[in-house]
Amino acid sequence: MSNIVIITGSVSPRSKTAALAARVAARLGREGFRVTTVHVRDLPAEDLLFGRVDSPAIAEATRVIAEAAGVVIATPIYKAAYTGVLKALLDLLPQFGLAGKAVLPLATGGTIAHVLSIDYGLRPVLQSLGARHVLAGLFLLDKALRLGEDGLLEIDDELGNKLEEVVRPFIDSVIREGLALPAREVAA
């Protein structure tokens, strides 16, 4: 069974970014991948800020990321950049902590002015961590996303299609590069 890890950089427990990540996790699950989500906000703040890579929570997050064939990064954009808590976790990964992995960046934000934050802010960090392939990401305007009463993300068909246009190539990249096979393909 192949692993995909989704890292969410939202600081809010009920966030549109986390709901977007959950939607992508469900989509990947339907393809047969085992998906683990790391919500950075749930990691001990002191461990993140003081760089305690040997703390149990940080060590576990690092292990899950190391064992993943692919990584999805989902973050809100604040002040033209991804969140500080996400940066704190990325800083604690080994120098080539994303080596050999396909990575899909996803971002949400309040203004179209932040659309380049993925390419100019996040992508260089992901590449410096050795990602094999950082796919074209997707920036979604916050006002186009709705949280249902059940906490699930509600988006229109057009945005759903745009999301599929980035998730499908991510899946294909993970499989094509020989990084992973979905569970249904490796079962004998």
| CATH code at position 86 | 3.40.50.360
Q: State the residue range of the domain holding 78.
A: 3-186
Farthest-apart Cα atoms in the chain, separation = 49
Using left for φ > 0, alpha for ψ between -120 and 50, and beta otherwise, residue 133 falls in beta
Say whether pLDDT at 182 is over 80. no
What distances in angstroms separate CA 187 from CA 30, 32, 177, one per listed residue?
Answer: 15, 10, 19
CB contact at 8 A, 152 and 23 = yes
Query: What pTM, to 2 d.p., does this model score?
Result: 0.91
In this prediction, residues 4-9 reach a mean pLDDT of: 97
Residue 99 is classified by DSSP as B
pLDDT in tens, 15-47: 999 999 999 999 999 999 999 999 999 999 999
CB contact at 8 A, 29 and 95 = no
Write down the mean pLDDT value for the chain.
90
In this prediction, residues 149-164 reach a mean pLDDT of: 88
Within 77-141, residue ranges assigned H as helices are 84-92, 117, 123-128
pLDDT tier, 177 (very low <50, low <70, confident <90, very high otherwise)? low
In this prediction, residues 86-115 reach a mean pLDDT of: 94
Query: What pLDDT score was predicted for residue 7?
Result: 98
| Amino acid in position 132 | R
Structural domains of the chain, count = 1
